[in-house]
Amino acid sequence: MISKLEIQETNRMIEKMNLDVRTITLGISLLDCIDSDLGRLNEKIYQKITTLAGNLVATGEEIAKEYGIPVVNKRISVTPIGLIGASACHSEDDFVEIAKTLDKAGKAVGVNFIGGYSALVSKGMTKAEELLLRSIPKALAETDVVCSSVNVGSTKTGINMDAVRLMGQVIRRTAENTADKDSIGCAKLVVFCNAPDDNPFMAGAFHGVTEADAVINVGVSGPGVVKKALEQARGKDFEFLCETIKKTAFKITRVGQLVAKRASEMLNVPFGIVDLSLAPTPAVGDSVAEILQEIGLEHPGAPGTTAALALLNDQVKKGGIMASSYVGGLSGAFIPVSEDQGMIDAVLAGCLTLEKLEAMTCVCSVGLDMIAIPGDTSAETLSGIIADEMAIGMINQKTTAVRLIPVIGKKVGDSAEFGGLLGYAPIMPVNSFSCADFVNRKGRIPAPVHSFKN
Amino acid sequence: MKRAIITVVGKDTVGIIAKVCTYLSAENVNVLDISQTIVGGYFNMMMIVDVSASKIDFNNLSDGLSKVGEEIGCVIRIQLEDIFDMMHRI
């Protein structure tokens, strides 16, 4: 029998510590929609998404009611459009038409994001994939809920530097196309190395080609719960600290598992994975930075940050893996700047720099995330930053990503306002020495050796 | 059997249990267990109920209880028991 204390603990987590299910993401394969006629392709895509996801939002709301826990986002991910549009699209504008179809379908079923305007080009680009990459700035400017991601490298294939160079230009143009809204288009665009096929979190979600026709993936969250639990660990040793994080991660993940199973039953779609990530929001008490402070840092960015984050990330995984047999996606701690009030404070205090964030990405999931940089940052510099981050992923056999926002017309000292879950961000300085001759070399960085690990 | 947990929190007043139980009985929800404390004038009740024979669906039951709560100045939540089992039992 469940005790009163346990019931109170669960409800305190939900009411006071922002425990929620961050997203139920329905992955949909569009492979069976492929057609050489663009009109027919768009029609099939729209039909398939609206048929399969018609009940997604209502189901999410019903589950929230049943368990008394908020289900914040209901989202869709689809097969990378670089594959789906390959035979129908002969120009950038053809691809933009598909983006508009996704936008229309997403709005029709009421989801807040639809991911998968993507291309997997870690070794090379097809003609169609290059067109898709070039169409991203227009697609993101002319749609509201579509998210785009491009995988430009992997541990097995190396880094496609032609794609990295192109993505520097694409990010710049995306920023310019949405300059009137603090370049918000870039908040919906991620560059990956080792992108996972089953990530439920935006903007990087897409439905991998190895996945079933439709699948439910769930992302849980709860940095506030971990932070609160760690208040009891003040002054205690590392063993106590780690035990506390593991136990808390277990509890959070179990809720995700329950919700995923229930959603899968109700929608009659197989359950895929639970993503264990600690995902912050701009709300006070929902911050990964506050966890790092509770571990003992004045601000994230101080010496010791990388070690503290490594510890946190590992304990979250250890606790979470026990709670669900199917863990996947990105699973770790997210360290976006604009979506985490504690990170913003650290930047404003002068404690957290882009270089330190880069070091932190070596030991946690994702990468340089939601970082606003000066609007005059060149495409080559963007490509250089992407290449660095991709190299970290490639060598360390982990996922890394870059979601940078060069905010047009703004410079260090200003701040960019994105609104909602995306938050706001102070503009961070970027090393402005040139890397142009490096990124302008053609070809790819070869795959690394997998032995001689020292 | 489909078990759910009802929690009622608010300022203590006459007839809280009566009002909640009257509502549950009208909707054919069976009460399996009740425990209740009052600390510093605050009423805190936990009920385990069986909703399998309920006349209305869970969504409406939840809304109905919230409404009863508003009338008596308490916050009333109903949640399926699974969430607590999952979180606290291996």
Residues A164-192 pLDDT 10s: 999 999 999 999 999 999 999 999 999 99
**What range does the domain containing B80 cover?**
3-88
Task: Kindly state whether residue A386 falls inside one of the protein's structural domains.
Answer: yes
Do residues A180 and A33 both lie within one domain? yes
Tell me the pTM.
0.92
pLDDT of residue A356: 96
Give the count of beta carbons closer than 10 Å to the beta carbon of residue A166.
Answer: 21
In the chain, the amino acid numbered A60 is G
Task: Kindly state whether residue A209 falls inside one of the protein's structural domains.
Answer: no
Among B7, B88, B89, most A C-beta atoms within 10 A, so best to mutate, is B88
CA angle in degrees (0–180, nearest 5) for A425-A275-A30: 95
Decide if B46 and A257 are in contact by the 8 Å CB cutoff: no
DSSP letter assigned to residue A258: H
Rounded mean pLDDT of A394-406? Answer: 95
CB contacts of A68 in chain B (<8 Å) are 77-79, 83
- How many domains does chain B fold into? 1
In the chain, the amino acid numbered A5 is L
Task: Kindly state whether residue A365 falls inside one of the protein's structural domains.
Answer: yes
Do residues A139 and A243 both lie within one domain? no
Task: Kindly state whether residue A319 falls inside one of the protein's structural domains.
Answer: yes
Distance from CA of B16 to the nearest CA of A (A): 19
- How many domains does chain A fold into? 2
Distance from CA of A325 to the nearest CA of B (A): 13
Do residues A236 and A183 both lie within one domain? no
Do residues A255 and A124 both lie within one domain? no
Among A21, A62, A65, most B C-beta atoms within 10 A, so best to mutate, is A65
- pLDDT digits over B5-49, tens only? 999 999 988 999 999 999 999 999 999 999 999 888 889 999 999
Distance from CA of A152 to the nearest CA of B (A): 39
Decide if B86 and A11 are in contact by the 8 Å CB cutoff: no
Residues sharing a CB contact under 8 Å with residue B27, sequence separation 6 or more, in sequence order: B54, B55, B56, B61, B64
Residues sharing a CB contact under 8 Å with residue A103, sequence separation 6 or more, in sequence order: A114, A143, A144, A145, A146
Give the count of beta carbons closer than 10 Å to the beta carbon of residue A224.
Answer: 24
Distance from CA of A144 to the nearest CA of B (A): 31
Rounded mean pLDDT of B50-58? Answer: 94
pLDDT of residue A454: 67
| pLDDT surpasses 80 at A421 | no
CB contacts of A65 in chain B (<8 Å) are 58-59, 62
Give the count of beta carbons closer than 10 Å to the beta carbon of residue A362.
Answer: 17
| pLDDT surpasses 70 at B78 | yes
Do residues A166 and A251 both lie within one domain? no
CB pairs under 8 A between A and B: 49
Decide if B79 and A254 are in contact by the 8 Å CB cutoff: no
Task: Kindly state whether residue A15 falls inside one of the protein's structural domains.
Answer: no
- H/E run at residue A171: helix A161-177
**What range does the domain containing A254 cover?**
221-439
In the chain, the amino acid numbered A292 is L
Task: Kindly state whether residue A216 falls inside one of the protein's structural domains.
Answer: no
Rounded mean pLDDT of A4-16? Answer: 90
| pLDDT surpasses 80 at A407 | yes
* Cα Rg of chain A, angstroms: 21
Answer for the pair A248, A227: CB distance below 8 angstroms, yes or no. Answer: no
Task: Kindly state whether residue A210 falls inside one of the protein's structural domains.
Answer: no
CATH at B83: 3.30.70.260
Decide if B82 and A67 are in contact by the 8 Å CB cutoff: yes
Do residues A384 and A281 both lie within one domain? yes
CATH at A394: 3.20.70.20
Q: Token digits for A327? A: 């863990």
Nearest by CB to B79, from A6, A68, A254: name it: A68
Do residues A139 and A28 both lie within one domain? yes
Distance from CA of B89 to the nearest CA of A (A): 9
Rounded mean pLDDT of A56-73? Answer: 94
